[in-house]
């Protein structure tokens, strides 16, 4: 088993070999690569910060000293804290690029999905603020490949309003070629649409009050066409029904070519279609109705449009929900800026690894199993079976 551990963890360690060590050379006792591999495995196994990482490592000493270069034994919590505080989040995240590229290629081959939906959305770790030192709660924008169950990148921003500047930076970090990018209304900006088109991708962007004129024009046009049941426009319709958890939900999708007289149409790069989704939910005998409107660079194809919209919601229902429930991210009191960003990325990346594992257990049970059993941990980490 030890040889398999060495081979597997050497493969993981290679992703961090070119990362510059930010620590002082004075009294440096533990190789950076080994510290980071341990941190990654510990988070995968349930750790949520430097103290827990060090505790897990101490309990797994026999396993770790055989599998990693640890000339001075297991690092203490101060080592993990210092490394994760001093590493620049952008440089740390860049180490995972080739790994993610490999995971994405494998997922594409297994699912057969060549044009994935990449959902872009923000999330706050609400308790990570430090008012005394003027540090607001961590708000990060991330890309979630809904079809693959992969978090492809994240960028931290000061608050939700700064998503507009964070999204272009995030889209430059991730290979979006050929993908369908979905963003909520905050990111429905002409410059972002243009960036997506220039990257040879397509977009489905939600509309709300921040694009008031465009939003109202789309509402008016769809309402007008709907009065005679869309007889005068090449509209496509699609409906889905779901039942579960004490509720019944019907979603009605309508998509049509963008009207040529849409206000400022020429300013929206690649804009080809508009759409509407009406969601009717019945719970305990009470019905609620919600209507959302969208613009898109996709040609009319209502099932593809419906899939893109539903896939975007999965970043909330799958990614963000798992981060809060399984990783307890919303309860994190980590206050240092770099430390909390690096931990947030480790949460998202290890969530991706757990999602790739074919086992039928829940994410929480898989994470516990990683802590209990080194064989299972390696299986999730690198796909090795010991």
Q: Which two tokens stand for residue 221?
A: 């046009």
pLDDT over 90 percentage in the chain? 73
Residue 1 clears pLDDT 80, i.e. is over it: no
> For residue range 268-307, what is the model confidence (pLDDT) as tens digits?
999 999 999 999 999 888 999 999 999 999 999 999 999 9
> For residue range 178-218, what is the model confidence (pLDDT) as tens digits?
999 999 998 999 999 999 999 999 999 999 877 889 999 99
What is the rounded average pLDDT of the residues 121-129? Answer: 67
| Nearest Cα to Cα of residue 43 among 314, 317, 328, 316 | 328
What is the rounded average pLDDT of the residues 77-88? Answer: 95
Give whole-number Cα distances, 147 to 136, 179, 270, 297, 363, in Å.
33, 11, 24, 20, 17
What is the separation, in whole angstroms, between the first and last Cα of the chain?
6
- For the chain, list the domains and their CATH numbers: 2-87+338-382 (no CATH), 97-325 (3.90.350)
């Amino acid at each position: 088993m030890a040889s398999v551990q060495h081979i597997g963890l050497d493969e993981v360690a290679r992703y961090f070999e070119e990362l510059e060590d930010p620590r002082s050379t004075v009294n440096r006792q533990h190789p950076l690569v080994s510290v980071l591999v341990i941190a990654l495995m510990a988070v995968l196994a349930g750790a949520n910060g430097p103290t827990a990482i060090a505790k897990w490592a101490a309990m797994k000493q026999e396993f770790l000293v055989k599998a990693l270069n640890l000339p001075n034994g297991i690092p203490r919590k101060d080592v993990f804290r210092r490394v994760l505080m001093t590493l620049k989040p952008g440089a740390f995240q860049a180490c995972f690029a080739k790994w993610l590229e490999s995971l994405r290629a494998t997922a594409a081959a297994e699912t057969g999905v060549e044009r994935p939906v990449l959902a872009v959305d923000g999330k706050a770790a609400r308790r990570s603020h430090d008012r005394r030192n003027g540090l607001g709660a961590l708000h990060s924008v991330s890309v979630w490949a809904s079809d693959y169950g992969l978090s492809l990148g994240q960028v931290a921003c000061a608050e939700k309003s700064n998503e507009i500047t964070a999204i272009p930076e995030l889209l430059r970090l991730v290979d979006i070629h050929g993908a369908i990018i979905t963003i909520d209304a905050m990111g429905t900006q002409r410059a972002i649409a243009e960036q997506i088109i220039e990257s040879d991708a397509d977009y489905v962007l939600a509309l709300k009050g921040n694009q008031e004129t465009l939003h109202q024009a789309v509402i008016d046009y769809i309402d007008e066409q709907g009065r005679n049941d869309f007889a005068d426009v090449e509209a496509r319709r699609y409906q889905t029904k779901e039942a579960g958890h004490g509720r019944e939900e019907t979603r009605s999708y309508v998509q049509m070519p963008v009207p040529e007289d849409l206000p400022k149409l020429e300013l929206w790069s690649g804009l080809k279609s508009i759409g509407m989704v009406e969601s009717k939910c019945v719970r305990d005998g009470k019905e609620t109705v919600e209507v959302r409107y969208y613009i898109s660079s996709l040609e009319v194809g209502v099932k593809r449009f419906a899939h893109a919209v539903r896939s975007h919601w999965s970043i909330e229902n799958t990614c963000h929900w798992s981060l809060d429930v399984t990783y307890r991210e919303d309860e994190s009191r980590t206050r240092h800026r770099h430390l909390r960003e690096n931990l947030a990325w480790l949460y998202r990346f290890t969530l991706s690894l757990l999602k790739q594992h074919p086992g039928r257990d829940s994410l929480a049970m898989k994470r516990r199993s990683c802590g209990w059993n080194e064989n299972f941990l390696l299986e999730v980490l690198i796909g090795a079976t010991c």
